[in-house]
Structure 1
């Protein structure tokens, strides 16, 4: 049904024109002014009555309204000097029933103060835009090089040398090793030494993306693809990383349903946004990392064999910290320098006893655990030398526990007083041991529940439930 538009009165139209930020002038086919709004006429120093009926060239300096009224061609965003100000002018021809009858012109900034206000506003917007642009570029840039990978042990140097060799290749790399060994640092370093270093480095944690969002996050989606989709759609992370490197961390946690789609994207070198009618080409290098045994997962059917071989072209195994204890002192000194900058300290050092104690520890959380231990130490430090008392209790006590084990080997008779220890129900004993293990894991990883769950080899949901039962908190 056709709805007739209500005709607006002259009073309405005049008030609307008055409220507009743009100033308006209207000329007929011959360039004679038929209307000019009050603010515009005041700005150029003439009254409405003096302007109407006169040639626009005689009233407005540097005008081109008469030309547009003759040619019928619009002119957009022209700079027009008027009264020692520079205006932004737009000029449009007016056609009635297909006949050119005149032109309407609008100008912005009728006075220099408004020009300055607009310039200041634009400058602020440009500064804000540049800030976020720079931030976005930094976030998509590799932050570490091979010089940042500290360690002279044979096993670590072998991994580092292999990384340097394959950096110039486009082959997929699979980084394996325990949690906290520095797999992401290796990925950054490989990208920075590659021919793709001038293009984005996009890190994706496969364990942190909900399964239902995996495809849309990696491949993007079109406008209206699903309920809650961002208007205009969204570019996927694979497209953002085009010509660069994608780092798929915790690849072992990728849902099985998504693995086949990832495999296709890598094989065909194209992605199809969710709800999109066509595929988009991509040019990427893939670096994946995991602390899980992917071969075992393949055998169990929880990881696709064809994807495993696609990713495992070059395997670099990062050794655990306990297997390169000769590197602990150098790593600790490097981490200490970083923490000094964070906590505004200078001249901090380790006592010889602390260095030995750090070398004795087994470091189940690897370099990540070491960094957490040192951060705790520098937080409680009064002077400039980190002493044994500044270390967490579980590291200080390890020598005592070690001596107890030496004094009571498995083949010896237990101490006599052991028989006097009350016997608890097995269920309570197991619960106490479980609580202690969880508390220890949380301390090792600085309260990160997800990392602690992986360290203990149990599922996230199960771990969270146990923390709730035992009243343990974390981040």
Structure 2
């Protein structure tokens, strides 16, 4: 390469321009060998004379840059940097709000970080109260769209006759009572950023068609508009409903399901990660005392034992409500049995009244249900993991009346 001009050696180089101008270029994009890379270039100066130039590749390709960007965004959500970090409009949570160190939560956090780097659509699935909204916020914050707007839409809370104008807006005079100048919709508000469609399983069929067009064509039409408008938005959806069954019942479009289902993230129920309960209690107790303004520093061992035994059908949201009630009704610095909701006290009484056979049967049923869930309802694998035969497993499913997806 010695003696050759730099433009004949390095593809799309600007090194010769650096020598001519004598000015540095920082974080400039360069197309090299089929990849866009990020490079810094600067002149070499000796005795006030430019004698050459040096170029440094900062990121070998844009995937490297996106990975670093995601990592930095995660660090900025850490409470240590909270004063230095300005929250993005519409975002309330970060990945640090996913409390727990169980294997399931660590795996979920890893997947969130990987998914966040791209623009791919994400479907978050899980029971009510497991933290699906926290995941949506986290994906946005760790993405390249983090400085743009995050817009949340609850598809189940908007009346069916208003949902189109809420999502896509309307033009002036589109209908009787329309505001002068029209109104922009949620998608336009989220342009350049992220829109989170919560409870997407409740979206009416006629709106599912329009949403599919947005995802496919990257454009939408406001109510009363004659022309479509281009849109650049990332869609994250969430549901606690069985979309596959809704498809069978013709209540959810199959083509839309495959559009939003590019990547699935599952939020585990609290009963499947009980090892996270101590950390959750510590976090929720601190937050509750700060919110209510009372000094409560501990939870009585009897209450702790009950919390660990209970199934938590409402998951973390239910646990949070119990802690809030306990803090509110506590008469000293400890939450005791007298401070918790009545239904939990009744649960404890019912548990104490059960005989050994009932307790064993309930435990067996829970173990079988958890095994079936762990292996996506594959009975052969579940039976193998439980160390029982297939016929035995079928008998126990029938005995315990385990229905739904288990059948």
Query: Which TM-score band (shorter chain)?
Result: 0.5 to 0.7
- 1:319 aligns to 2:268 (yes or no): yes
Report the counterpart of residue 342 of structure 1 in structure 2: 291
Following TM superposition, by how much is the alpha carbon of 1:206 offset from its aligned partner in structure 2, in angstroms?
A: 0.1
RMSD: 2.1
> Aligned match of 2:183 in 223, 234, 254?
234
CA distance in 1, matches of 2:191, 2:279: 37
CA distance in 2, matches of 1:347, 1:411: 36
Change in 2 beyond 3 A, CA 1:176/1:207: same
CA distance in 2, matches of 1:299, 1:409: 37
Following TM superposition, by how much is the alpha carbon of 1:404 offset from its aligned partner in structure 2, in angstroms?
A: 2.7
Report the counterpart of residue 368 of structure 1 in structure 2: 317
CA distance in 1, matches of 2:360, 2:322: 35
CA distance in 2, matches of 1:241, 1:345: 39
Following TM superposition, by how much is the alpha carbon of 1:229 offset from its aligned partner in structure 2, in angstroms?
A: 0.9
> Aligned match of 1:306 in 255, 270, 273?
255
- 1:171 aligns to 2:87 (yes or no): no
CA distance in 2, matches of 1:189, 1:311: 18
Change in 2 beyond 3 A, CA 1:391/1:410: closer
Q: Work out whether residues 88 and 147 of structure 2, in 8 Å CA contact, stay in contact via their aligned partners in 1.
A: no
Secondary structure of 1:235's partner? Answer: coil
Change in 2 beyond 3 A, CA 1:328/1:411: closer
Following TM superposition, by how much is the alpha carbon of 1:139 offset from its aligned partner in structure 2, in angstroms?
A: 8.5
> Aligned match of 2:224 in 275, 282, 290?
275
Following TM superposition, by how much is the alpha carbon of 1:373 offset from its aligned partner in structure 2, in angstroms?
A: 0.8
CA distance in 2, matches of 1:387, 1:395: 12
CA distance in 1, matches of 2:271, 2:285: 19
> Aligned match of 2:92 in 143, 157, 167?
143
Render the CA deviation track for 1:412-457: whole Å, top value 9, x for unaligned.
9xxxxxxxxxxxxxxxxxxxxxxxxxxxxxxxxxxxxxxxxxxxx9
CA distance in 2, matches of 1:161, 1:353: 35
CA distance in 2, matches of 1:306, 1:396: 47
Moved over 3 A (4+): 137-140, 407-412
Normalising to structure 1: TM-score of the pair? Answer: 0.56
CA distance in 1, matches of 2:210, 2:184: 17
1:32-43 alignment to 2 at 5 Å?
Answer: none
Change in 2 beyond 3 A, CA 1:186/1:410: closer
Report the counterpart of residue 152 of structure 2 in structure 1: 203
Structure 1, unaligned runs of 5 or more: 1-136, 413-456, 458-475
1:64-103 alignment to 2 at 5 Å?
Answer: none
CA distance in 2, matches of 1:203, 1:185: 12
Report the counterpart of residue 219 of structure 1 in structure 2: 168
Secondary structure of 1:247's partner? Answer: strand
> Aligned match of 1:354 in 296, 300, 303?
303
CA distance in 2, matches of 1:332, 1:229: 48
Higher Cα Rg, which structure: 1
Change in 2 beyond 3 A, CA 1:411/1:208: closer
Following TM superposition, by how much is the alpha carbon of 1:400 offset from its aligned partner in structure 2, in angstroms?
A: 2.8
Greater RCO (Cα-Cα under 8 Å, separation 6 or more): 2
Secondary structure of 2:206's partner? Answer: helix
Q: Work out whether residues 88 and 146 of structure 2, in 8 Å CA contact, stay in contact via their aligned partners in 1.
A: no
